[in-house]
C-alpha cells in the first residue's frame, strides 16, 4: 500500500482510538494482520463512496437501449466522443463525469439510464476507504469521494503504529 506519512498518522490514531472489540484485542495481542483485515472489511453500517473508475463496457451495459435511441444527434455525438476520449472508462468520483451522463440522458426519456448509472457509480466502502473519504455523508443519496482505494496488509499497520 502507499499511504503517505500523514495518512499513516491518521490510521495510527484511528487504530488506537478504535473501540471495536476485535481491534482492541488485536492491538493488545500485537496481531497486525487482524487489524489490517478489520480495516479491509466493508464498513458497518454501510458507507457509500463513488467508484474511481467504471469500464466503458459497464457503462454501455447500464444504458437503456430505448433511452439511447431517444437522445438527440448532438448528445449521441457527445456520448461517442466521451467513449473515444476516455478509453479507460468513466470516473464517477469526478462530478463532471456524473453530470455529463445526467445531461446526455436528461429528461423523462433518460430516467432508466440515469437510475442505472446512479447505482453503477457507487459502492460500499471498507473501513479504510471510509476513514479517508471526503465530501458526502456516505449515504446512498450523498456518497463520499474516496481518496484511498488500496487495502491494508500487516506491514502497513506495523508502519503506522511505529510512527
- Residue 118's Cβ-count burial label (10 Å; 0-12, 13-18, 19+) is middle
| 48 in Cβ contact with 119 (< 8 Å) | no
Residue appearing with cell numbers 457509480: 121
What pLDDT score does 2 carry? 86
Dist. CA 43–CA 64, nearest whole Å: 32
Tell which residue, 123, 134, 130, has the closest CA to residue 151: 130
Identify the segments of the chain with pLDDT beneath 70. Answer: 1
Query: Comparing C-alpha atoms, which of 75, 73, 62 is closest to residue 111?
Result: 62
Instruction: Compute CA distances 16 → 31, 140, 157, whole Å.
Output: 13, 29, 11
Backbone angles phi, psi at 143, to 5 degrees: -60, 150
Domain map of the chain by residue range?
Answer: 5-49+124-162, 53-120
CA 132, 135, 139, 145 dihedral sign is: negative
pLDDT reported for residue 150: 87
Half-sphere exposure of 71 (CA within 13 A, CB side): 24
Q: Where are the beta strands (DSSP E) in 6-161?
A: 48-50, 122-124
Residue 62, pLDDT score: 98
Residue 50's beta-bridge partner residues? 122
C-alpha cell belonging to residue 7 = 495518512
Amino acid at each position: 500500500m502507499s499511504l503517505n506519512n500523514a495518512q499513516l498518522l491518521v490510521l495510527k490514531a484511528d487504530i488506537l482510538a478504535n473501540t471495536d472489540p476485535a481491534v482492541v484485542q488485536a492491538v493488545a495481542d500485537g496481531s497486525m494482520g487482524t487489524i489490517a483485515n478489520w480495516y479491509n472489511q466493508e464498513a458497518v453500517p454501510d458507507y457509500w463512496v463513488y467508484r474511481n473508475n467504471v469500464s466503458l463496457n459497464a457503462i454501455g451495459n447500464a444504458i437503456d437501449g430505448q433511452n439511447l435511441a431517444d437522445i438527440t444527434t448532438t448528445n449521441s455525438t457527445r456520448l461517442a466522443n466521451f467513449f473515444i476520449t476516455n478509453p479507460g472508462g468513466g470516473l464517477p468520483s469526478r462530478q463532471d463525469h456524473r453530470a455529463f451522463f445526467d445531461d446526455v440522458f436528461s429528461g423523462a426519456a433518460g430516467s432508466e439510464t440515469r437510475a442505472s448509472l446512479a447505482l453503477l457509480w457507487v459502492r460500499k466502502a471498507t473501513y479504510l476507504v471510509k476513514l479517508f473519504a471526503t465530501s458526502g455523508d456516505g449515504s446512498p443519496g450523498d456518497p463520499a469521494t474516496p481518496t484511498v482505494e488500496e487495502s491494508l496488509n500487516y506491514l502497513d499497520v506495523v508502519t503506522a503504529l511505529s510512527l
